[in-house]
Every structure is written in C-alpha cells, then in structure tokens.
C-alpha cells in the first residue's frame, strides 16, 4: 500500500517509516523539516505544516492510508500551539481524507487522555475522559482522538467509507530517543531529579519498535470492511508494569549515572509545580518549561498501567521485543554515543 506518515522524522514516526519500507510499502512523509536521509531510503517527502490544509491535501493525494503520529508534545506551552498542531492539524487530515477518498486513518493518541490525576491500575478502554485538565497536551489529544473516532464510518470521495482508530502507546522509549531518555540523563547530570511520592508506583511503557509495529497492524486491519478495530481506541504497552523509579535508575545506570536519591512528596511536588507554572505564566515564559508541573508531579507519583487485552485480541498485537531486550538495545545505543546530540525536549 501507499502510506502517508506524518512526522516521519520524529522518534516514533521514523520507526514506523522504516518498518513500512522494510516490508515493501510505498511511503510518503509530511514534515516541517528537511530529512534527506529519508529521501535516500525512498521516502517521498512533502514539506509543510499540518495546520495548512493545502499542504495536507497535497500530502494525502493518492495514498491508501494515513498514519498520523505528528503533533505538539510536551506538557508546557500556549493552548494555541497545541490546538494548532494537535486539533487543527488532525482536522485537516480528516478533511483531506474525505476529499480525496482515503479510507484508512491510524491516529497516535496517548493514555494521558484518560488521566485525571489518580491511580490507573489495569484500566481498559472504557476509562472515561477526565472532567478537568492539568495540561494542554492530553486535553488537545483527547479532542483530536474524539474527532478521529467520530469520523469512523463517514463517507469519503469515490463512494468510499473512512475507517479510523486511535492508538495510545504509553511512555515510548528505545534507541534514538532524544526526548524521554535524554531528558532524564540531562536532569540527572544537573542534579535536578527527585523521586516524587513514595517511589513504589508502577507504570507501563512500550519499546518503540513494538509501538511502531502496532501502527502497521492497525493500518492492515482497517483495510477490512468489517475491521474489528474501526472506531476504537487501544492502549498499548509492554504488558508488564515496572516500578517507575527502579526503571529510571536502570536507565541512568546505562548512562553511567547513579540512582536518584533525593525525594519529594506528591503534595509538595504538586504545589511546587503550581507555583512554577504561575511564575512562568506571569513572565510569559512559554519556551522555558518549569522544572516541575502539577501534571508531571501526579504522573510521576501514581500508578498508571493498562489492560492491553483489546489490542492483543483485535490487532493481534504482542510486544515482540521484551523489556530486557529493549533495555539492552538502549544501553548499546547509549554506549555508542547515541545521547551525544540529544535534545532536551519532553516526549
């Protein structure tokens, strides 16, 4: 098939592109940046912004399926930035699909769209969206996810029917991760890491190649007229929750750094985050993320792991790369200097 991948130069997007190419699919990428290395691999690139409908329409022309992981990440910034990339951009994707008769759309969402600040222990896709939001990122992703799922079954050009689904991979990590892993290492070097809460909370995560494969499985399933995944969201993970802070220490050890020793209570971290957010907001410091935020304090101190039986049943998803094997690959990448040019942005 011919597939459009948005954000093909990003962490997850690049693995999706590589897996599509490896199995012989034709790939087009839509990105704001220039990626000559993708062109060398045979990717047809369209350069432009998701918020520009003409560019998105050009990128969607002639494709069979759109895989849409691009968007604004992180948990600090102006609402307009998140709206423009995550909501308006996704609306443009939907509009182009309908206009051009593209019948398959796989949207990369996030488990944070169901996070209300409390523990999530083995929750499934019946978990509701929260009533209040502590960050623009999950709020904007939840709106985009609902738009994508509501569009399932709508008529598109050439007498087609649009089939959509939303995937919610949690804490994507692995080699070439210049976001989550890089940030942990950077903050450890700066002496800024603190265990938040009791240090006993369990979290899910997903190795990046497993997350990418799930997107291909979803794209293939949506080709079926009676696809079991159409119109549904799916949590994705390794299927084996780990202690959050033990895992952080393991990542730091791969980078030759000591474990996190300093600790702060959940309540103290929450109010420190509230104060720093207020200070940054008053100073209009939108490009300088506070060292702590309310959403982050709650994420780092609560259990959040998920029931992935629906993904196993409907997608045929299984985490082929185990936690142990993935950590070994991550360690090898770090040892080879992979973090040398890492960015200090949030995944």
**Cβ–Cβ under 8 Å, residues 326 and 164:** no
Secondary structure of 282-311 in HEC code, one letter for each residue: HCCCCCCCCCCCHHHHHHHHCCEEECCHHH
H helices of 61-130, in order, are 79-82, 89-100
Active-site choice (15, 137, 207, 234): 137
- 263 exposure class (CB count in 10 Å sphere: 0-12, 13-18, 19+): middle
Place of tokens 């995560």: 205
- Give the distance, in angstroms, between the CA of residue 150 and the centroid of all CA atoms in the same chain: 20
By DSSP bridging, strand 155-156 and strand 160-161 are antiparallel
**Cβ–Cβ under 8 Å, residues 257 and 188:** yes
> Catalytic residue at 137?
yes
Place of tokens 């020793």: 261
**Cβ–Cβ under 8 Å, residues 67 and 132:** no
Give φ, ψ of 342 to 5 degrees: -65, 145
Q: Which residues are catalytically annotated?
A: 137
């Amino acid at each position: 098939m011919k597939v459009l991948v948005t954000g093909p130069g990003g962490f997850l997007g690049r693995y999706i592109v590589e897996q599509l190419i490896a199995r012989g699919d034709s790939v087009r990428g839509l990105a704001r940046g220039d990626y000559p290395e993708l062109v060398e691999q045979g990717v047809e690139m369209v350069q432009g912004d998701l918020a520009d409908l003409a560019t998105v329409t050009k990128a969607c022309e002639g494709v069979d399926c759109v895989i849409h992981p691009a968007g604004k990440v992180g948990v600090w910034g102006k609402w307009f930035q998140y709206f423009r990339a995550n909501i308006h951009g996704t609306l443009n994707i939907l509009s182009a699909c309908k206009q051009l008769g593209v019948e398959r759309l796989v949207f990369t969402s996030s488990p944070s769209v169901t996070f209300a600040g409390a523990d999530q222990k083995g929750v499934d896709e019946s978990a509701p969206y929260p009533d209040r939001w502590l960050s623009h990122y999950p709020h904007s992703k939840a709106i985009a996810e609902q738009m994508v799922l509501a569009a399932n079954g709508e008529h598109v050009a050439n007498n087609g029917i649009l089939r959509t689904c939303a995937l919610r991979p949690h804490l994507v990590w692995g080699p070439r991760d210049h976001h989550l892993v890089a940030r942990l290492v950077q903050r450890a070097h700066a002496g800024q890491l603190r265990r938040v809460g009791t240090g006993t909370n369990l979290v899910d995560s997903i190795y990046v190649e497993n997350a990418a494969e799930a997107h291909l499985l979803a794209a293939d399933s949506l080709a079926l007229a009676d696809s079991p995944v159409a119109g549904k969201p799916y949590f994705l993970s390794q299927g084996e929750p780990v202690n959050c802070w033990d895992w952080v220490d393991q990542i730091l050890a791969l980078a030759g750094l000591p474990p996190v020793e300093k600790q702060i209570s959940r309540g103290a971290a929450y109010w420190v985050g509230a104060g720093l957010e207020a200070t940054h907001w008053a100073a209009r410091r939108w490009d300088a993320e506070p060292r702590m935020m309310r959403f982050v304090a709650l994420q780092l101190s609560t259990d959040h792991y998920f029931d992935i039986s629906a993904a196993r049943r409907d997608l045929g998803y299984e985490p082929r790369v185990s936690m142990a094997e993935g950590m070994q690959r991550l360690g090898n990448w770090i040892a080879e200097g992979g973090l040398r040019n890492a960015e200090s942005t949030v995944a």
